[in-house]
Amino acid sequence: MVKIIASSVRKGNVLEVEGKLYVVLTAQNFHPGKGTPVTQVDMRRISDGVKVSERYRTTEQVERAFVEDREHNFLYEDGEGYHFMNPESYDQLTMSVEDIGDLKAYLQEGMTVILSVHEGVAIAIDLPRHVTLEIMETEPVVKGQTASSSYKPAILSNGVRTLVPPHISAGTRVVIATEDGSYVERAKD
């Protein structure tokens, strides 16, 4: 374990609090005009998924767990969970549906992801920033509609709903941001 000051805690860090591991969801530093600066940390307990919110003085020491971030390839999903393989050692790791959360919609077979591994157990996943998906259905183009700021709803090949510009039609491949599921651009393939 490594002790770090609370103000240096970042999203994705794994902290050990009272013997349990937590993954940091958000970390914000507040510097009021008067009083002590504090760091507000929202975390999820890895063992059971419970969300916790803590406040630390920015100079307070917190324990950061040693986590190894390694590239893994997504293999498949079954009743046990999601299976990943280390391309160097061919070791396989499994993550539960709860650990992956909403990101499961963007996992594609063979996709390279970064897994955070603590003592041989995958505890967090980091997907590529963008994925390419196909538009399955959307409203038809309305003649004369300007592309300035009007977006229309669409359903992607992974079942997720998003908003796309008016010129995008069904069957078009588009680039989507995995962070929030938003449209980035038309795919260049």
Which residues, in sequence order, are bridge partners of residue 183?
176
- Same domain, residue pair 160 and 109: no
Is 47 or 9 the better-scoring residue by pLDDT?
Answer: 9
pLDDT tens profile 20-46:
888 888 889 998 888 889 999 998 887
Strand order across the 51-57 sheet: 2-5, 61-64, 14-17, 20-30, 38-45, 51-57
d(CA 29, CA 14): 18
For position 44, which CATH number holds? 2.30.30.30
With 60 as the cut, is the pLDDT of residue 109 above it? yes
**31 and 48 both lie in a single domain:** yes
CATH number of domain containing 93: 2.40.50.140
Percentage of the chain beyond pLDDT 90 is 24
With a threshold of 0.75, does the pTM exceed it?
A: no
Unique residue bearing structure tokens 């709903």:
161
Q: Domain range spanning residue 9?
A: 2-64
